[in-house]
Amino acid sequence: MKHKLFWTSLLALAMLTACAGEPGDISGGQSGTSVSASGPGDSASGSSALKEGEISQPEDYFDLVFDTSQDQGKLTARYLYLQTIYGTGKEAVTTGDSAVYTSPDGMVMLVDCGNVPGGQEVTNQLLAMGVDKIDVLVLSHPHADHVGGFVTVADNFEIGQVYVNGHEYDSGTYRAMMEKIEELSLPCEVLEAGDAFSLGEEVQVQVFGPTPGDTEEVAGGYLDANDGSIAMRLTYGQSSFWTSGDLYITGEQALTERYGQDIASDVVKMNHHGKDTSNGKDFVQAMSPKIAVGMFDSVASRTVAMRYIAGGAEVFYNSTDGAIRVSTAGDGVYDVQIQKIRDVAVLPDAPSEGHIVIS
């Protein structure tokens, strides 16, 4: 935990940056143009002619995040970095959720696909990993920032199995997704609490939500669509990863009342992009994570970030870190590689080459 001070300083910096920009503004900083504009491998060689006295350095650590040469024998999560602006004015949205998990024996599970243009960014990042088949694709809930990119992803990769939460949503994006599933005759099943499946030989995936009946309540308008999000935990040896889409505090409360500490996980994707609609005290306490990842174009809530930090977690955000790789050999120790380069003048404790080990 020696980097705690660094991360806290980083957070303060991120908040300043977030406050300075317009909503949805992602133009600040040295955002990784290598993700969408150039392909993998370009970042190290793409520097233009140097002036005298300038030091050559890679644009960012995109290549390290997406290098899969060390993945064998490890459960690895990559929290993808989606930057394309979609819509205009106040309606403009950028980041959606999309994370890819690879098992020690090379099986690939994608959870969510980002918004519509995000599908191309997801595709680019999967291609950078050398993925040609997605064995399992989970769509946590039918909102556009989670399923919008599905059509593009499905057009680019073979897909073994699709899992949805069963909420038939009234939107063009949702219908396009279902039509694509039908067009490609993809196996598609509904997940609910109590379900479980394996990702390869050694990773177990347990489903904790939605509970049977939740989907009807969502459809009837009694429960918000976000509270129908698929909640699940991946376990490999002593290591564990949690993901539950955009659950609100109501949904989190239902989980903590039902399962208590049984949902504790080392690595947690913050609910609802790290916003304070979610990530309540009871949830954070039940999870007691070592690592919490916020998938958004800013630090959505300082309160939430501080809550995770106070609970003992290191926090990472797409906005400050770009894409984030977290991998483990199943021993409860996590190797983290972030994409973006920090300003070492402001953050002298920046981990060397964006790399940090958390145990």
Gap between the terminal Cα atoms of the chain: 9
DSSP summary character for residue 102: E
- What span, in angstroms and rounded, lies between the C-alpha atoms of 217 and 339? 40
* Residue span binding Zn ion (CB under 5 A) among the ranges 14-22, 72-80, 159-167, 238-246: 238-246
The only residue of 59, 71, 145, 214 in contact with Zn ion, by rule CB under 5 A: 145
* Residue span binding Zn ion (CB under 5 A) among the ranges 103-111, 139-147, 171-179, 261-269: 139-147
Token pair 């479980």: residue: 196
Select 66 or 174, whichever has its Cβ closest to Zn ion.
Answer: 174
Among candidate residues 349, 287, 296, the one with its CA nearest the CA of residue 322:
296
Residues 6 or more apart from 183 whose CB is under 8 A from it? Answer: none
Q: Contacts with Zn ion: how many residues (CB under 5 A)?
A: 2
> Minimum CB separation from Zn ion for residue 246, in Å?
4
Select 118 or 289, whichever has its Cβ closest to Zn ion.
Answer: 118
Select 167 or 290, whichever has its Cβ closest to Zn ion.
Answer: 167
**Angle formed by the axes of helices 302-310 and 4-20, to 10°?**
170
Q: By CB under 5 A, what part of segment 62-91 binds Zn ion?
A: none
Please report, to the nearest 10 degrees, the dihedral formed by the alpha carbons of residues 255, 312, 64, 241 taken in order.
-20
Q: Is 297 in the site for Zn ion (CB under 5 A)?
A: no
- 232, 243 Cβ separation under 8 angstroms: yes
* Residue span binding Zn ion (CB under 5 A) among the ranges 33-41, 70-78, 119-127, 141-149: 141-149
The only residue of 60, 112, 246, 321 in contact with Zn ion, by rule CB under 5 A: 246
> Minimum CB separation from Zn ion for residue 273, in Å?
6
- 255, 263 Cβ separation under 8 angstroms: yes
Strand order in the sheet with 324-328: 188-190, 158-164, 133-138, 108-111, 99-102, 75-79, 324-328, 334-338, 355-358
Select 80 or 128, whichever has its Cβ closest to Zn ion.
Answer: 80
Select 115 or 339, whichever has its Cβ closest to Zn ion.
Answer: 115
Select 121 or 246, whichever has its Cβ closest to Zn ion.
Answer: 246
> Minimum CB separation from Zn ion for residue 185, in Å?
28
* Residue span binding Zn ion (CB under 5 A) among the ranges 80-88, 145-153, 263-271, 301-309: 145-153
- 320, 7 Cβ separation under 8 angstroms: no
Token digits of residue 119 = 């599908």
> Minimum CB separation from Zn ion for residue 101, in Å?
18
* Residue span binding Zn ion (CB under 5 A) among the ranges 142-150, 158-166, 274-282, 335-343: 142-150
- Chain residues binding Zn ion by CB under 5 A are 145, 246
